[in-house]
Amino acid sequence: MVPFNEKKAPHDEVLVKKLNKIALSIRRDSLIMTTKACSGHPGGSLSSADILAALYFHHLRHDPQNPSWEGRDRFILSKGHGCPALYSALARAGYFPIEELWRLRKVGSILQGHPDMKRTPGVDASTGTLGQGLSIGIGMALAFKLDGRDSRVYVLLGDGELDEGQIWEAAMSASHYRIDNLTAIVDFNRQQLTGCVDRIMSLEPLADKWKAFGWQVIEIDGHKMKQILDSLDEAEKVRGKPTVIIAHTIKGKGVSLLEQSFLEGECKFHGTPLTEAELNKALEELHE
């Protein structure tokens, strides 16, 4: 029995409600973790919380009791700095006790500042230096094809990360190899470390870029749970080429202080945690 292999369950209100609730927990955890750690990246954790909830609590085939199960799907957080959200999802799925979350970035912790496949159960690739996750995912996808496995690979990319040349080396090779057992997801929150993506390094027309590289493109609202779920299913049906889901998201989603700050062009909540007072106020907002 695999706990979270529930892909076939209908995307009804019950499921959406359940996943939205988990996403709220991921947001709360991410903020508490980074404040306790006095460092970390709250903004990008919040923008990807819904996607992670959909993956780890519905779509992915995985077994928290057996993290190295060969038949599992793989998930790579290529935007490794968003790991507080990933760690929360893993803990809540049962990979390790929730209490571990509060030791993020502490000496001796299983939860490093960026994902570490050797230290953290459930982490499938060591990332943190941007631009490498898609290539790693392609290697995994090729191996599954060679072995006749039906496991799939999911790679979550940041939008700032798309500045890295290696992403486009990987994009080219994924379509060249006709990799259709990999889904890339772009957390398109339009903010990178020092400011708005459009100002730092223009990405548009982003969908056209992926199409030109031979990818199937699906665009969604990355905070609408049903759209996330439907797009993950749709990507699986594409044959003979890779698929990217461009998820339009909001950096700091769910907390007005963060959303407003990014909207006004401030970047401090990219890599700065909330103060205790800010955190308490934020947590009040993160309820059903």
Binding site for other proteins (CB under 8 A): 70, 74, 116-118, 124-129, 131-132, 135-144, 146-147, 165-166, 169-170, 172-173, 176-177
Nearer to other proteins, 80 or 84 (CB): 80
Q: Name the amino acid, one letter, at 35.
A: T
Phi, psi of 158 (to 5 degrees): -85, 160
Phi, psi of 192 (to 5 degrees): -120, -170
Strand-pair partners of 76: 155
User: How near is the Cβ of 24 to other proteins at its closest, in Å?
Assistant: 32
Nearer to other proteins, 19 or 244 (CB): 244
Phi, psi of 53 (to 5 degrees): -60, -45
Place of tokens 């970390």: 40
User: How near is the Cβ of 175 to other proteins at its closest, in Å?
Assistant: 12
Nearer to other proteins, 52 or 170 (CB): 170
Q: Cα(211)–Cα(244) distance, rounded to whole angstroms?
A: 9
- Nearest Cα to Cα of residue 152 among 76, 209, 94: 76
Nearer to other proteins, 57 or 215 (CB): 215
Phi, psi of 141 (to 5 degrees): -65, -40
β pairing state of 191-192 and 195-196 = antiparallel
User: How near is the Cβ of 162 to other proteins at its closest, in Å?
Assistant: 15
User: How near is the Cβ of 166 to other proteins at its closest, in Å?
Assistant: 4
User: How near is the Cβ of 276 to other proteins at its closest, in Å?
Assistant: 34
- Nearest Cα to Cα of residue 72 among 146, 174, 140, 168: 140
User: How near is the Cβ of 5 to other proteins at its closest, in Å?
Assistant: 19
Q: Cα(236)–Cα(242) distance, rounded to whole angstroms?
A: 9
* CB distance 159 to 82 below 8 Å: no
Nearer to other proteins, 28 or 152 (CB): 152
Residue 92 host element (H or E): helix 83-93
- Nearest Cα to Cα of residue 157 among 117, 183, 126, 187: 187
Nearer to other proteins, 75 or 262 (CB): 75
User: How near is the Cβ of 227 to other proteins at its closest, in Å?
Assistant: 28
Nearer to other proteins, 63 or 259 (CB): 63
Nearer to other proteins, 157 or 170 (CB): 170
Q: How many C-beta neighbours within 10 Å does residue 68 have? A: 9
Contact partners, residue 176, CB within 8 Å, separation at least 6: 214
Q: Cα(213)–Cα(265) distance, rounded to whole angstroms?
A: 31
User: How near is the Cβ of 170 to other proteins at its closest, in Å?
Assistant: 5
